[in-house]
Amino acid sequence: MSADTTTATRTDEQTTRGATLVTGASSGIGYELAKQFAAGGDDLVLVARREERLEALASDLRGTHGVDATVVPMDLTGATAVDDLLARVDEAGIHVDTLVNNAGFSVYGFYGETDPGTERSMLDLNVVALTELTKRVVPRMVERGAGRILNVSSTIAVYPSPGGAVYGATKAYVLSYSLALAEELRPHGITVTALCPSVTDTEIFEHGGMGESGLTSQPMATAEAVARAGYEALRAGDAIEVPTPRAKLLWHLTRLLPKSRAAKLSADFWEG
């Protein structure tokens, strides 16, 4: 990088304002995380497909906490979505101090019958968009010598998940990726936290056949409790947060079992 380019980049950073970018902010854990960050005084960039919900949330956060909230309605599964999102962020004069990768969805059902197109979209959102967005944001954090990243994984990341095979694999990716980055980026002043909740009461059960799984009969954590735990873990710089006692029990139990046994228990868990 030339001296002129370095100077220009630093000038650009000085003339922008920092904010927390939350994907999947229109409902569930993402919605509650946005409220946590706003209560802490952070300006926000709210990203999701449903513009009306984002606008309502942004209005509430501005009025309640006096923060600025920029709305970016977008489907992150598009081929140019990350480029388009960051272009909007740059145009608004914002740099990302904290990145919250929350957007995602699940697919439930017998693998021989689940829709491959839906699973491809799930991979694009849960894995590809998360990775590409992080990849684009990290270099600027490294240059500033500071930054925070919160990736929403799941307790399902530590055991095989018959009935949710591809979904579980995406969350295992997020956990492994997050822990590797946490170690790699720590010397650069950047913390990475993987939030790993168990079954949580969100709209995820309205999509991908999840409403037909036995998970709906399980005790559920509230999205507010999960978000609060994730926010506090991020602020503390913790690499992993497993919220709620039930989630912690499931986390430790399945890690101790042989993987074949954990897979059988997981199948029973998903079937109810």
The answer to whether residue 242 is domain-embedded is yes
Q: What is the mean pLDDT of residues 138-166?
A: 93
- pLDDT at site 1: 40
- pLDDT at site 32: 97
Domain that holds residue 39: 17-271
Rounded to whole angstroms, the Cα distance separating 142 from 198 reads 32
Please count the structural domains in the chain: 1
DSSP 213: S
- pLDDT at site 31: 96
Q: State both tokens at 48.
A: 């999701």
| Cβ atoms within 10 Å, residue 114 | 20
- pLDDT at site 204: 61
| 3-state class (DSSP) for residue 83 | helix
The answer to whether residue 10 is domain-embedded is no
Catalytic residues: 167
The answer to whether residue 150 is domain-embedded is yes
Rounded to whole angstroms, the Cα distance separating 32 from 248 reads 21
Assess whether pLDDT exceeds 50 at residue 183: yes
The answer to whether residue 111 is domain-embedded is yes
pTM for this structure?
0.86
CATH number reported for the structural domain that contains residue 131 in this entry: 3.40.50.720
CA dihedral of residues 108, 109, 111, 112 (deg, nearest 10): -150
Rounded to whole angstroms, the Cα distance separating 270 from 272 reads 5
The answer to whether residue 4 is domain-embedded is no
The predicted-structure confidence for 189-206, as pLDDT tens digits, reads as follows 999 999 999 876 665 655
Buried-state track 140-173, b at ≥16 Cβ within 10 A, e below 16: bbebbeebbbbbbbbbbbbbbbbbbbbbbbbbbb
Q: Which residue has the tokens 């956060």?
A: 61
| C-beta separation of 57 from 36 below 8 A | no
The answer to whether residue 97 is domain-embedded is yes
The answer to whether residue 12 is domain-embedded is no
Q: What is the mean pLDDT of residues 126-136?
A: 98
pLDDT band at 6 (very low <50, low <70, confident <90, very high): very low
| C-beta separation of 201 from 32 below 8 A | no
- pLDDT at site 80: 95
Q: How far separated are the first and last CA of the chain, in Å rounded?
A: 57
| Cβ atoms within 10 Å, residue 24 | 25
The predicted-structure confidence for 217-272, as pLDDT tens digits, reads as follows 566 779 999 999 999 999 999 999 998 777 787 777 777 767 776 666 656 565 65
